[in-house]
Chains A and B, each alone.
Chain A
């Protein structure tokens, strides 16, 4: 059973892992710069999901039905929805920082205080969606049916999986390039490494923080599109919770504060939990994920790749 589905699980895990990785990047970026666990990031992701979903609605798609339009049109629609989701999530992340975190930074609050405003913001965003959209998942709108394109060792690879894996890697390399090669990215790295010195060197810390949140939000928005393509029933007020925890686990697994770690952590988590559920059954999937996390941290306390965006701090 496990061996039969080994390749299918690997491909499925890669596709899921890419989504985890994109969300994990948001956690890791914010952590790298502010040493802050942004617990409301999962809600930023949910905002992205609803942004994508509302764009589908605005484009005239009807829940429950399967559209039949040419592939070019579908791709254009997906790109448009993804863009809306990304922008909404990005703006929401920046707003979140303004409302929930900046006042605390101004007041020199202890680090744990940020966790509490994060969970408060999380409640508020979830409840707003629940009040306006109810507690049922939104009706399914699926633009692209999964359709096997080719096979690897007998395991089908669907068009969805190809799009998600390729696009996620493209997003990741864009983000990585931004942080490692541009002027603004240098500022981000400088603040992550040593905020005091960076400020003295003329880096605008507030702007760096804003960019960090914006970037994390944009990536979460992209993840939202891929998630909704894979799980069309995903648009629901509490839909970000478990995925958020898993993505955070992925970020820590790879080494929090480290962009490549987030990618690696996401992919490993995705693949391993798929193997795990294949071995032990679907209800053991999350157990496998958390056992992996705890197990890895026992032996490599700073995660697989260690911290690198910020200084090594242990």
Chain B
């Protein structure tokens, strides 16, 4: 018993020391930040949900979030739903003449479960626009219905390039797709590492496969000869680690999400692989850093998303409302909701009107300038590289 208590005490002391060293580490990270490009501050002319406070709309007017709320990968959906809700709340506070209701529908994140709730939203005549759906698979499944209903649909996170090739007139993507990010990441890796060989590892998701293909193509078959596959929810990667050890690459690109990236990078580092680890937006999440523990340090993350730390008003409001920092696609969701809300404020009181408003929208948002091509892709999609520095993600540089 005595020994156990001692151990517990020792653990407490150690923990205290850890907290201290953690702080010190953070300080160090801050000092090292001098070399990095500063995160863009909030653009002065960025549209905000509050608008000019003069919005007028019919009572009961709604926008909807459709996406996963519970179940697997729910964290990503939750963050998008929260940001959308935050936008609606800020809008309603500032515009007494226009109280918009947010309808949240849980799609379950999979194609078959998404159809019913989406249809229910379509059937609700008060809903004029949708923020979502977060994932590419479910977006593919419900796209035809949404298109037939002419219900404008801005996705803040589905990045599969094929989504805009379906001829849907109501589908808009609030960020760059994988065909933008992949080549940009490849180009950046080429200049940064001057590589003979890069291991491209992908998960089995739509997102991972699409992105890995784009990267592999841009790198060329010689450089990206080392290809690895992992599965969603896989936690043990000894085969992949062995493959990477064999190839001894200058860098590792992982196309997938943080859930698998964290144990993967940890097991790579444990096995003594020191090659830089590069991940996409799906990995750019605080969870990656926490779950990979020290192993994430020095990892690079590409993302067609603009750094959020400059948007202090948004980050603080989000933190205050939900007790956590905004996640990867929160700002995109906030922008998407803002666009829908501004349309409603400006008198778009029907689905065709709002659809038309979004189609011709041209304005600065928090994350970027929003103006869509006819197929629903943004005209301008900045891609940034971030870096894990100690225990946080910092902005490294813009790459395109």
Residue of A nearest to B19 (CB): A62
Q: Is A64 part of the contact surface with B, judged by Cβ < 8 Å? A: yes
Neighbouring A residues of B233 by C-beta, 8 Å: 238, 242
Q: How far is the CA of A67 from the CA of B40 in the complex (A)?
A: 35
Report whether A8 and B289 are in contact in the complex, using a CB–CB cutoff of 8 Å.
Answer: no
Report whether B18 and A67 are in contact in the complex, using a CB–CB cutoff of 8 Å.
Answer: yes
Report whether B229 and A283 are in contact in the complex, using a CB–CB cutoff of 8 Å.
Answer: yes
Q: Is B262 part of the contact surface with A, judged by Cβ < 8 Å? A: yes
Q: Which of B7-15, B172-180, B215-223 contacts A (4 or more CB under 8 A)?
A: B7-15
Report whether B236 and A65 are in contact in the complex, using a CB–CB cutoff of 8 Å.
Answer: no
Neighbouring B residues of A80 by C-beta, 8 Å: 4, 7-8
Q: Is B321 part of the contact surface with A, judged by Cβ < 8 Å? A: no
Q: Is A176 part of the contact surface with B, judged by Cβ < 8 Å? A: no
Report whether A8 and B75 are in contact in the complex, using a CB–CB cutoff of 8 Å.
Answer: no
Checking B3, B18, B73, B270 against A65 with a beta-carbon cut-off of 8 angstroms, the contacting residue is B18
Neighbouring A residues of B243 by C-beta, 8 Å: 1, 281-282
Report whether B3 and A283 are in contact in the complex, using a CB–CB cutoff of 8 Å.
Answer: no
Interface digits, A213-244 against B, CB 8 Å rule (1 contact, 0 not)? 00000000000000000111110001100100
Contact status of A62 and B246, CB under 8 A, knowing A140-B291, A231-B263, A233-B263? no
Report whether B236 and A231 are in contact in the complex, using a CB–CB cutoff of 8 Å.
Answer: yes
Count, chain A residues at interface, CB 8 A: 50
Neighbouring B residues of A286 by C-beta, 8 Å: 231
Q: Is B293 part of the contact surface with A, judged by Cβ < 8 Å? A: yes
Neighbouring A residues of B75 by C-beta, 8 Å: 134-136
Closest Cβ–Cβ distance, residue B197 to chain A (whole Å): 16
Neighbouring A residues of B242 by C-beta, 8 Å: 1, 5, 8-9, 278
Report whether A234 and B71 are in contact in the complex, using a CB–CB cutoff of 8 Å.
Answer: no
Contact status of A282 and B290, CB under 8 A, knowing A77-B11, A135-B73? no
Contact status of A283 and B11, CB under 8 A, knowing A64-B391, A277-B239? no
Q: How far is the CA of A267 from the CA of B18 in the complex (A)?
A: 38
Which B234-256 residues sit within 8 Å CB-CB of chain A?
234-240, 242-243, 246
Interface digits, A273-304 against B, CB 8 Å rule (1 contact, 0 not)? 01001100111011000000000000000000
Q: Is B74 part of the contact surface with A, judged by Cβ < 8 Å? A: yes
Q: Is B230 part of the contact surface with A, judged by Cβ < 8 Å? A: yes
Report whether A140 and B262 are in contact in the complex, using a CB–CB cutoff of 8 Å.
Answer: yes
Checking B7, B230, B294 against A66 with a beta-carbon cut-off of 8 angstroms, the contacting residue is B294
Closest Cβ–Cβ distance, residue B376 to chain A (whole Å): 29
Residue of B nearest to A58 (CB): B8
Residue of A nearest to B270 (CB): A146
Contact status of A281 and B229, CB under 8 A, knowing A135-B74, A232-B266, A238-B72? yes
Q: Is A306 part of the contact surface with B, judged by Cβ < 8 Å? A: no
Neighbouring B residues of A312 by C-beta, 8 Å: none
Contact status of A64 and B290, CB under 8 A, knowing A80-B4, A232-B266? yes
Closest Cβ–Cβ distance, residue A267 to chain B (whole Å): 16
Q: How far is the CA of A242 from the CA of B70 in the complex (A)?
A: 20
Which B260-286 residues sit within 8 Å CB-CB of chain A?
262-263, 266, 270
Report whether A283 and B231 are in contact in the complex, using a CB–CB cutoff of 8 Å.
Answer: yes
Report whether A66 and B74 are in contact in the complex, using a CB–CB cutoff of 8 Å.
Answer: no
B8, B17, B204, B293: residue with the most chain A Cβ atoms closer than 10 Å = B293
Contact status of A140 and B290, CB under 8 A, knowing A135-B72, A232-B266? yes
Closest Cβ–Cβ distance, residue A12 to chain B (whole Å): 5
A-B pair number, CB within 8 angstroms: 147
Q: Is A41 part of the contact surface with B, judged by Cβ < 8 Å? A: no
Q: How far is the CA of A286 from the CA of B21 in the complex (A)?
A: 41
Report whether B7 and A76 are in contact in the complex, using a CB–CB cutoff of 8 Å.
Answer: yes
Q: How far is the CA of A284 from the CA of B68 in the complex (A)?
A: 29
Neighbouring A residues of B19 by C-beta, 8 Å: 62
Report whether A137 and B239 are in contact in the complex, using a CB–CB cutoff of 8 Å.
Answer: no
Q: How far is the CA of A137 from the CA of B292 in the complex (A)?
A: 11
Contact status of A140 and B292, CB under 8 A, knowing A282-B231, A283-B204, A283-B231? yes
Q: How far is the CA of A12 from the CA of B236 in the complex (A)?
A: 10
Neighbouring B residues of A278 by C-beta, 8 Å: 238-239, 242
Q: Is B22 part of the contact surface with A, judged by Cβ < 8 Å? A: yes
Q: How far is the CA of A231 from the CA of B236 in the complex (A)?
A: 7
Report whether B290 and A139 are in contact in the complex, using a CB–CB cutoff of 8 Å.
Answer: yes
Q: Is B228 part of the contact surface with A, judged by Cβ < 8 Å? A: yes
Report whether B14 and A68 are in contact in the complex, using a CB–CB cutoff of 8 Å.
Answer: yes
Q: How far is the CA of A161 from the CA of B9 in the complex (A)?
A: 27
Report whether B15 and A282 are in contact in the complex, using a CB–CB cutoff of 8 Å.
Answer: no
Residue of A nearest to B18 (CB): A65
Q: Is B259 part of the contact surface with A, judged by Cβ < 8 Å? A: yes
Interface digits, A57-71 against B, CB 8 Å rule (1 contact, 0 not)? 001111111111110
Q: B-side interface residues toward A, CB under 8 Å?
A: 3-4, 6-8, 10-12, 14-19, 21-22, 70-75, 204, 228-231, 233-240, 242-243, 246, 259, 262-263, 266, 270, 287, 289-294, 391
List 7 additional A-B contacts (Cβ < 8 Å) besides A59-B7, A61-B18.
A62-B19, A63-B290, A69-B11, A232-B263, A238-B72, A278-B239, A282-B240
Closest 10 CB pairs of A and B: A60-B15, A76-B7, A277-B239, A282-B239, A139-B290, A283-B229, A73-B10, A135-B74, A64-B290, A59-B11
